[in-house]
């Protein structure tokens, strides 16, 4: 009898422990490097400032004033990504201005929303994916100070709004495993991704309706990159194309998983964030190559939550991170590129950058469109998955 | 106080023996109860409120939005279906194991108990990834079969419903085995012997004496496993295919990516409501006290 009581005590404790870890396990899919869903729009906002004030703003951005005693909170996605941002931006900024940083590594749109709604905003500068910072989020964000931030130097294709400025570019690309495909077989673009006769093997895809799979399916079907969203994203056409390889698709939930899938050869080709493809090849030493043709160029953005206690200091820092001399800093460490068109990226890394490989075949996410039509797009994705 | 109890036991003996003893020591549970109400019940009610007030004036529109999408409803039914399959698998595997634990000598039973409990002490995510490594096309099982020449193409073990059930059952098995074992422990072996004396075959004694006596434990275990399985998220995501999506994935997406907390709350409320219904129905059949160990009997 006593043993059954001990057993039940075990059971109760374990139930609590496992219950907590099941819940926690559920949240463990966030990518350490940027995990941004679909991004920017070619419909860039016009910069209203005269070029004179813009260049004056630019030099002010690169030379921030001394601000001793100020502590800023910086939140990003952790891992090597945040470390690169730290080394390129945070540390030099501290040396220049005396501003101290407290960092968080768990950037999440939902956290920003709950902080603002509760009136307890602790985050000042947040790195977010391309699904945030749009005009629909104006209740959650401070409008950025574009007298400081050099807006007209930034890449206009990346969907700058009043509330966000892009800080780092990356590409959603086609990666392929050369061992699985065999020597001499190189996919030229997304049409080859959908051609399992010529390139047998499984295909990896991000399990997210706005991750880019619909766009890639349309491009494979012959839609020009600039026509992807006009007049609407043709979900029916994309779904029909996706149906042709449905049985061969393997879904991944996180960047790490995509890196693992292509590196191990579990899939012959996959859509992947270029940083992950780079890591599979250069860090894991796997036979993985990237096909840059028809990539989707996208970015992560810096935003300031509404009600942030250090708003002015946050704006000065964002201006610094956006200025031409500093913006390309992270490319010293990771294959993610600058968003400032006047920046020079690390020569050793420049060929691995999305922006360097961007051409007329590259596409850009229309964030505003995707934000507005999410329910429809997601419903189509779920419906396609289920049939 | 003591005389009052004695007086009561003289006049209402049956009532007193069935009533749990409530005394001033029960007040020690009060902080825990308050904590649970504040940290668990209140947010749950706030979420239910949110499902009808976000966006303002929503009423039942969030629920309507959910049921309008065929795909979402299919995900909800799939969640219950997968949870049911996982429960049945755990039952089929767990029952013989629990029975084994009752008939082996004490030391061996202790070892078997540790074998059941050991997976608890590693992370759920690690265990799920371990299943991935075992089951995938380039994984351990397929590599072994391919290299020994038993098969020429890799078997599709992962990204199937069976892969999901396998992973979930592995993780949920202790929850099935432990309640069943605790109940089986209390079944007096004299009953089986008495049945044998009266002419029953061992099989007949097992079927007609042992199994009915063990049913409370079986139901308790099934209930626990089923409710836990409903909330699984990572295991179906990593081991499952296109059709194996569970509702928790949709909820997470609405809350964290979409920021549509009204809709996410509505889906959560649906899940909680259906689960509570199951619990209610099952509580008619199972004495929930058995789940947590009775203190007044035996």
- Contact, A127 vs A103, CB < 8 A? no
Same domain for B212 and B271: no
Same domain for B137 and B225: yes
Q: Give the span between the Cα atoms of A305 and A24, in whole angstroms.
A: 26
**B233/A25 Cβ within 8 A:** yes
Single out the residue of B90, B63, B245 nearest to residue A208, CA to CA.
B245
Q: Tens digits of per-residue pLDDT, A46-63?
A: 333 344 444 555 577 788
pTM above 0.80, yes or no: no
Q: Give the span between the Cα atoms of A250 and A238, in whole angstroms.
A: 17
Same domain for B190 and B154: yes
Same domain for B186 and B286: no
Same domain for A178 and A150: no
Same domain for A119 and A146: yes
pLDDT at site A125 = 95
- Contact, A132 vs A303, CB < 8 A? yes
User: Number of Cβ pairs closer than 8 Å across A and B?
Assistant: 121
- Closest chain A C-alpha to B71 CA, distance in angstroms: 5
CA A362 → CA A188, A320, A359, B211, distances in Å? 13, 29, 5, 66
Which residues in chain A (118-147) have CB-CB distances under 8 A to chain B?
A: 131
User: Hey, is the C-beta of A198 within 8 angstroms of any chain B C-beta?
Assistant: no
Residue found by looking up tokens 């420049």 in the block: A350
| pLDDT surpasses 50 at A22 | no
- Contact, A163 vs A134, CB < 8 A? yes
Single out the residue of A324, A275, A317, A278 nearest to residue A299, CA to CA.
A275
- Gyration radius of chain A over CA positions: 22
Q: Is the peptide bond before A231 cis (omega within 30 degrees of 0)?
A: yes
CA A138 → CA A19, A301, B265, distances in Å? 37, 15, 23
**B237/A253 Cβ within 8 A:** yes
The pLDDT confidence band at residue A41, using thresholds 50, 70 and 90, is very low
| pLDDT surpasses 60 at A87 | yes
Residue at A11 is within a domain: no
Same domain for A157 and A206: no
pLDDT at site B296 = 42
The more confident residue out of A204 and A37 is A204
Single out the residue of B82, B83, B91, B84 nearest to residue B219, CA to CA.
B91
Same domain for A294 and A335: no
Q: What is the CATH number of the domain that holds A234?
A: 3.40.190.10
ipTM for the whole complex: 0.71
Element housing B161 (H / E): helix B161-185
Same domain for A193 and A59: no
Same domain for B43 and B161: no
| pLDDT surpasses 90 at A80 | no
Same domain for A237 and A380: yes
User: Which domain range does residue A378 map to?
Assistant: 171-298+372-386
Same domain for B62 and B204: no
End-to-end CA separation in angstroms for chain A: 52
Same domain for A381 and A240: yes
Give the other-Cβ count within 10 Å of A13's Cβ.
Answer: 11
Residue at B202 is within a domain: yes
Q: Tens digits of per-residue pLDDT, B260-295?
A: 899 999 999 999 898 888 888 877 766 655 555 544
Same domain for A303 and A283: no
Single out the residue of A339, A298, A377 nearest to residue A42, CA to CA.
A298
Residue at B264 is within a domain: yes
- DSSP conformation letters of B5-72: HHHHHHH-HHHHHHSPP--GGGGGGHHHHHHHIIIIIHHHHHHHHHHHHSSTT-TTHHHHHHHH-HHH
| pLDDT surpasses 50 at A97 | yes
Q: Is the peptide bond before B55 cis (omega within 30 degrees of 0)?
A: yes
Quick one: what percent of chain B has pLDDT higher than 90?
27
**A5/B293 Cβ within 8 A:** yes
Q: Give the span between the Cα atoms of A117 and A139, in whole angstroms.
A: 10
HEC-encoded secondary structure of chain A: CHHHHHHHHHHHHHHHHHHHHHHHHHHCCCCCCCCCCCCCCCCCCCCCCCHHHHHHHHHHHHCCCCCCCCEEEEECCCHHHHHHHHHHHHHHHHHHHCCEEEEECCCCHHHHHHHHHHCCCCCCEEEECCCCCCHHHCCCECCCCCCCCCHHHECHHHCCECCEEEEEEEEEEEEEEHHHHCCCCCCCCHHHHCCCCCCCCCEEEECCCCCCHHHHHHHHCCCCHHHCCCCCCCHHHHHHHHHCCHHHEEEECCHHHHHHHHHHCCCCEEEEEHHHHHHHHHCCCCCEEEEEEEEEEEEEEEECECCCCCHHHHHHHHHHHHCHHHHCHHHHCCCCECCECCCCCCCCCHHHCCCCCCCCCCEECCHHHHHHCHHHHHHHHHHHHHC
pLDDT at site A230 = 85
Residue at A10 is within a domain: no
Mean pLDDT, chain B, as a whole number?
Answer: 84
Residue of B nearest to A12 (CA): B292
∠ Cα A99 A100 A104 (to 5°): 130
- Contact, A350 vs A356, CB < 8 A? yes
Strand, coil or helix: B297: coil
Mean pLDDT of A332-341: 90
- Closest chain B C-alpha to A1 CA, distance in angstroms: 7
Q: Tens digits of per-residue pLDDT, B25-66?
A: 888 889 999 999 999 999 999 999 999 988 887 788 888 888
Count of structural domains within chain A: 2
Q: Tens digits of per-residue pLDDT, B184-234?
A: 988 888 888 888 889 888 888 888 888 888 988 898 899 899 989 998 888
Mean pLDDT of A209-224: 92
Of A29, A208, A385, the CB nearest to B242: A385
Residue at B90 is within a domain: yes
Strand, coil or helix: B198: coil
User: Which domain range does residue B164 map to?
Assistant: 75-242
Tokens of residue B52, six digits: 């009808």
Residue at B8 is within a domain: no
User: Hey, is the C-beta of A249 within 8 angstroms of any chain B C-beta?
Assistant: yes
User: Hey, is the C-beta of A113 within 8 angstroms of any chain B C-beta?
Assistant: yes
Same domain for B83 and B151: yes
Same domain for A177 and A165: no
Q: Give the span between the Cα atoms of B19 and A298, in whole angstroms.
A: 66
Count of structural domains within chain B: 2
User: Hey, is the C-beta of A106 within 8 angstroms of any chain B C-beta?
Assistant: no
∠ Cα B165 A259 B246 (to 5°): 30
The pLDDT confidence band at residue B122, using thresholds 50, 70 and 90, is confident
Same domain for A141 and A55: yes
- DSSP conformation letters of B249-287: HHHHIIIIII--HHHHHHHHHHHHHHHHHHHHHHHHHS-
Residue at B23 is within a domain: no
**A374/B234 Cβ within 8 A:** no
∠ Cα A150 A152 A153 (to 5°): 70
Q: Give the span between the Cα atoms of B10 and B201, in whole angstroms.
A: 45
Contacts of A129 (CB under 8 A, 6+ apart): A34, A35, A36, A37, A39, A109, A300, A301
Same domain for B172 and B101: yes
Single out the residue of A276, A294, A377, A369 nearest to residue A40, CA to CA.
A369
Same domain for B225 and B84: yes
Same domain for A180 and A263: yes
- Closest chain A C-alpha to B270 CA, distance in angstroms: 18
**B293/A4 Cβ within 8 A:** yes
Residue of A nearest to B129 (CA): A257
Same domain for A202 and A279: yes
pLDDT at site B295 = 42
Mean pLDDT, chain A, as a whole number?
Answer: 84
Q: Give the span between the Cα atoms of A208 and A190, in whole angstroms.
A: 18
Same domain for B142 and B251: no
Tell me which of B86, B254, B259, B294 to substitute to probe the interface with A (most A C-beta atoms closer than 10 Å): B259
**B234/A25 Cβ within 8 A:** yes
Tell me which of A18, A25, A28 to substitute to probe the interface with B (most B C-beta atoms closer than 10 Å): A25
Q: What is the CATH number of the domain that holds B95?
A: 1.10.3720.10
Q: Give the span between the Cα atoms of B31 and B35, in whole angstroms.
A: 6
Sign for the CA dihedral angle at B218, B221, B223, B229 comes to negative
A175: which strand partners? A270, A290
Strand, coil or helix: B157: coil
**A23/B178 Cβ within 8 A:** no
- Contact, A314 vs A144, CB < 8 A? no
Residue at B139 is within a domain: yes
């Amino acid at each position: 009898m006593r043993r059954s009581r001990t057993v039940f005590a075990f059971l109760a404790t374990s139930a609590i422990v496992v219950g907590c870890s099941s819940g926690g396990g559920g949240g463990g899919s966030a990518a350490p490097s940027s995990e941004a869903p679909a991004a920017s729009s070619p419909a860039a906002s016009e910069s209203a400032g005269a070029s004179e004030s813009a260049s004056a703003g630019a030099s002010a951005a690169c030379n921030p004033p001394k601000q001793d005693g100020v502590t800023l909170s910086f939140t990003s996605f952790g891992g090597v990504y945040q470390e690169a941002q730290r080394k390129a931006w945070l540390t030099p900024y501290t040396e220049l201005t005396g501003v101290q940083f407290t960092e968080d590594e768990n950037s999440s749109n939902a956290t920003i929303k709950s902080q603002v709604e509760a009136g307890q905003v602790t985050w000042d500068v947040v790195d977010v994916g391309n699904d945030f910072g749009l005009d629909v989020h104006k209740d959650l964000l401070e409008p950025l100070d574009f007298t400081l931030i050099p807006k007209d130097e930034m890449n206009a294709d990346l969907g700058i709004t009043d509330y966000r400025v892009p800080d780092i570019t990356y590409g959603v690309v086609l990666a392929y495993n050369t061992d699985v495909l065999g020597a001499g077989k190189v996919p030229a673009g997304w049409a080859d991704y959908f051609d399992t006769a010529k390139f047998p093997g499984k295909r990896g895809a991000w399990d997210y309706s706005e991750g880019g799979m619909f766009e890639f399916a349309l491009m494979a079907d012959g839609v020009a990159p600039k026509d992807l969203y006009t007049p609407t994203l043709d979900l029916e056409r994309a779904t029909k194309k996706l149906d042709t390889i449905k049985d061969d698709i393997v879904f991944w939930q996180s960047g790490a998983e995509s890196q693992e899938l292509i590196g191990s050869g579990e899939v012959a080709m996959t859509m992947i964030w270029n940083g992950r493809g780079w890591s599979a090849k250069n860090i894991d030493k796997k036979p993985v190559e990237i096909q840059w043709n028809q990539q989707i160029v996208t970015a992560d953005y810096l935003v300031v939550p509404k009600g942030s206690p250090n708003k002015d200091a946050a704006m000065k820092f964002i201006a610094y991170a956006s200025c031409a001399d500093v913006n390309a800093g992270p490319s010293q460490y990771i294959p993610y590129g600058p968003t400032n068109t006047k920046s020079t990226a690390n020569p050793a890394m420049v060929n691995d950058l999305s922006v360097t490989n961007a051409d007329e075949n590259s596409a850009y996410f229309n964030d505003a469109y995707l934000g507005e039509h999410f329910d429809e797009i997601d419903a189509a994705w779920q419906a396609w998955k289920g049939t | 106080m003591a005389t009052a109890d004695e007086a009561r036991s003289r006049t209402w003996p049956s009532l007193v023996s069935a009533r749990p003893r409530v005394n001033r020591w029960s007040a020690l549970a009060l902080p825990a109860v308050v904590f649970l109400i504040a940290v668990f019940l209140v947010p749950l009610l706030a979420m239910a409120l949110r499902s009808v007030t976000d966006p303002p004036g929503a009423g039942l529109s969030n629920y309507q939005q959910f049921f309008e999408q065929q795909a979402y409803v299919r995900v909800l039914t799939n969640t219950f279906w997968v949870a049911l399959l996982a429960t049945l698998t755990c039952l089929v595997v767990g029952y013989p194991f629990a029975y084994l634990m009752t008939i082996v000598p004490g030391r061996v039973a202790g070892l078997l108990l540790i074998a059941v409990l050991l997976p608890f002490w590693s992370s759920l995510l690690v265990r799920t990834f371990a299943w991935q490594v075992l089951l995938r096309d380039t994984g351990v099982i397929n590599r072994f079969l391919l290299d020994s020449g038993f098969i020429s193409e890799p078997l599709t073990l992962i990204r199937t419903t069976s892969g999901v059930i396998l992973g979930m059952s592995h993780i949920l098995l202790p929850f099935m085995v432990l309640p069943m074992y605790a109940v089986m422990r209390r079944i007096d072996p004299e009953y089986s012997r008495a049945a044998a004396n009266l002419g029953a075959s061992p099989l007949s004694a097992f079927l007609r004496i042992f199994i009915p006596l063990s049913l409370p434990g079986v139901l308790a275990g099934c209930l626990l496993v089923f409710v836990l399985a409903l909330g699984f998220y990572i295991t179906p995501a990593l081991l499952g295919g296109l059709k194996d999506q569970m509702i928790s994935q949709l909820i997470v997406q609405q809350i964290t990516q979409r920021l549509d907390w009204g809709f996410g709350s509505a889906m959560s409320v649906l899940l909680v409501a259906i689960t509570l219904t199951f619990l209610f129905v099952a509580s008619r059949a199972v004495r929930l006290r058995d789940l947590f160990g009775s203190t007044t009997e035996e």
